Amino acid sequence: MSRTVSIINTGVANIASIQSSFAKLGYETQFTASAQDVLDAKAVILPGVGAFEAGMSALNSLGFSDALRQRIHDNKPTIAVCLGMQLLCESSEESPGTKGLGILKSQIRKFSPGIRTPHFGWNMVTGTPYFGSGYAYFANSFRLAEDPDDGWEVATCEHGERFIAAVRKGNVVAAQFHPEISGDFGFSILEKWLEGVTW
Domain range summary for the chain, segments of one domain joined by +: 4-195
> pLDDT of 128-150, one tens digit each?
999 999 999 999 999 999 998 87
Q: Quote the CA–CA distance of 10 and 42 in Å, as a whole number.
A: 19
- What pLDDT, on a 0 to 100 scale, did the predictor assign at position 150? 77
Q: Classify residue 94 as exposed, middle or buried by CB count within 10 Å of its CB (0-12, 13-18, 19+).
A: middle
- What pLDDT, on a 0 to 100 scale, did the predictor assign at position 14? 76
A 10 A CB-CB count for 145 gives: 16
CB 87 within 8 A of CB 47: no
Q: Quote the CA–CA distance of 83 and 178 in Å, as a whole number.
A: 10
CB 30 within 8 A of CB 2: no
For the domain made up of 4-195, give the CATH fold. Answer: Rossmann fold (3.40.50)
> Can you list the residues of the chain whose pLDDT is less than 50?
none
- Positions annotated as catalytic residues are 82, 178, 180
Backbone torsion region of residue 121, taken as left when φ is above 0, otherwise alpha when ψ lies between -120 and 50, otherwise beta: left
- What pLDDT, on a 0 to 100 scale, did the predictor assign at position 21? 96
Sequence-separated (6 or more) residues with CB below 8 Å from residue 64: 8, 32, 35, 38
